[in-house]
Structure 1
Amino acid sequence: MDADTNTKLAVLIDADNAQPSIIEGLLAEIAKYGTANVKRIYGDWTSNRLRGWKEHLLQYSIQPIQQFGYTSGKNATDSAMIIDAMDLLYTDRFDGFCIVSSDSDFTKLAARIRESGLTVYGFGEQKTPDPFVAACDKFIYTEVLRSEEEPDTESSFRRMSTNELKQDTKLVNLVRNAIEVSSDESGWAHLGQVGSYIAKQSPEFDPRNYGYRKLGELVEAIQLFEIEERSTGQGHAAAVYVKDKRK
């Protein structure tokens, strides 16, 4: 995917609910969707709990926003992020928001931003509640973004075998439905259109969740679909088409 550098993004990170080990992968992922014009991270920076984040702030030009925990049991960080997000939304300077947190408290915020016609990219761990995931246009699990130096061996996504993929009814049906909707009369569908349809149906879908880098690799591994590369002319990359083998 080629990033549109004209797409202006506001990146808001909940330091209480994100790990420093994702930062390099996070910013590289965000660069696929646009330019991070604003990068802010929220938390109580007087606390030793956030020490791991502090060394990254200057290196990646992320602005720390201090938020004291005034009352026990209340998440002041969430409130500060939501207020800032709305202020940024009203400036009409941005095309989208990247909300980095595994907290369901941002569900209504994501929905509100989308109501204004802006794109919302969510980033959180696998434990992120479904409502927040569904409220985003696209949701990326941060386990796939962790640096190789600090892998999360318990929750990183391993490569699933063909048999495991075939038995994943939700995945197989998602791909089949996308091909059916996107296909021509002969049953062939352009892989890019298939991917676009899947993204609309399932914001959290990502081939990396199954251990594969790209959609084409995942579809091929399932072994229930035909894959064909077609030349698009001299000097252009081949176009990839897929078809349900049952057709």
Structure 2
Amino acid sequence: MTDTPRIAILIDADNVEPAHIRFAVEDARGRGRVVIRRAVGRLTSIKGREKVLTDLGFSAEVAFSGARATKDTADLMLAQIGIRLAERGTVEVIALVSSDSDFATIARGIAESGVEVIGYGKANTPAAFREAVSAFVAFPENGAPSATTKAAAKENDTDKARRIIEGHLNKAGEGRPQVIGQALSRAFDGNYKGRLGVKTFKELIKKLGGYEILDDPKGGGVSAQTLRRKA
């Protein structure tokens, strides 16, 4: 994976509210460079989300099966898009945005094609989908705040930094400091150290608490280090 991963966001328009689409895009931006945005769903779903999809630069596709749209058709289309992107090497990360348990199969199929898959969905999203992705991000229960909403404005810089770090840890609670540092820089307009009152990434981790940086026993310097959540 490149230091700044390219990300494709695939939206299940039949199962995701407009506010949650905004939330997923904002979170994904903190993880890398979003280069592809696609949404698939029935015509009524696409029309109901037309403004947010247009505002955020999504390409929308209507799912049809013969003369009528079906849920299975939309799922199949998203799976095909994801696998095609993975096989072409277009992106390093694919973000699936849905609360549908059927997306567990889609996530596994895409992951088998060689890319990392992260998921977004409601807090009650079935475990099957949660376990099929390398990281799962639940939508806020009170709606999805954007960077311009009052809810987001109340998040202090320390909480924001911790959220970004947690979003880059795998199921084992581990992540790459180099990648996390780059995500923090993007999220804080290139000045996370100044905003958080530290001189180094290592100092930030010590200040936040709850994490540790481990050196690779085989050497390799900073690029080989691992950030781990303390037990």
TM-score (normalizing by structure 1): 0.57
Taking a change above 3 Å as real, the CA distance of residues 65 and 74 of structure 1, as seen in their structure-2 partners, is closer
CA-CA distance at 1:242 after TM superposition: 4.3
**Is this contact kept in 1: 2:63–2:69, CA < 8 A?**
no
Match 2:49 to one of 33, 38, 53:
53
Query: Where does residue 131 of structure 1 map in the other structure?
Result: 128
**1:30-82, Cα deviation, whole Å (9 max, x unpaired):** 0111111110000123x2x4433101122111000121254687521111111
Aligned residue identity for 1:44 = R
1:99 lines up with 2:70 in the alignment:
no
Q: Distance in 2 between matches of 1:138 and 1:31?
A: 15
Query: Where does residue 90 of structure 1 map in the other structure?
Result: 87
Q: Distance in 1 between matches of 2:33 and 2:166?
A: 23
CA-CA distance at 1:196 after TM superposition: 9.0
Give the 3-state SS of the residue equivalent to 1:104 in structure 2: coil
- Over the aligned positions, Cα root-mean-square deviation in angstroms equals 3.5
Match 1:235 to one of 193, 196, 199:
199
Taking a change above 3 Å as real, the CA distance of residues 74 and 13 of structure 1, as seen in their structure-2 partners, is closer
Consecutive unaligned residues of structure 1, counting only runs of 5 or more, are 152-190, 204-233
CA-CA distance at 1:108 after TM superposition: 2.2
Consecutive unaligned residues of structure 2, counting only runs of 5 or more, are 150-161, 175-197, 212-231
Aligned residue identity for 1:135 = A
Q: State the number of aligned residues.
A: 167
Question: Identity, % of aligned pairs?
Answer: 24
Taking a change above 3 Å as real, the CA distance of residues 28 and 61 of structure 1, as seen in their structure-2 partners, is same
TM-score (normalizing by structure 2): 0.61
**Is this contact kept in 1: 2:87–2:114, CA < 8 A?**
no
Q: Distance in 2 between matches of 1:127 and 1:39?
A: 25
Taking a change above 3 Å as real, the CA distance of residues 54 and 110 of structure 1, as seen in their structure-2 partners, is same
1:65 lines up with 2:29 in the alignment:
no
CA-CA distance at 1:124 after TM superposition: 0.9
Q: Distance in 2 between matches of 1:196 and 1:23?
A: 17
**Is this contact kept in 2: 1:44–1:50, CA < 8 A?**
yes
Structure 1 runs of 4+ with >4 Å offset: 69-74, 194-198
Q: How is 1:1-247 mapped onto 2 (pairs within 5 angstroms)?
A: 6-45=4-43, 47=44, 49-68=45-64, 70=66, 74-143=71-140, 146-147=144-145, 199-201=170-172, 235-236=199-200, 237-238=203-204, 239-240=206-207, 241-242=209-210
Give the 3-state SS of the residue equivalent to 1:55 in structure 2: helix
Taking a change above 3 Å as real, the CA distance of residues 40 and 74 of structure 1, as seen in their structure-2 partners, is closer
**Is this contact kept in 2: 1:44–1:69, CA < 8 A?**
no
Aligned residue identity for 1:111 = R
Taking a change above 3 Å as real, the CA distance of residues 35 and 108 of structure 1, as seen in their structure-2 partners, is same
Taking a change above 3 Å as real, the CA distance of residues 84 and 198 of structure 1, as seen in their structure-2 partners, is closer
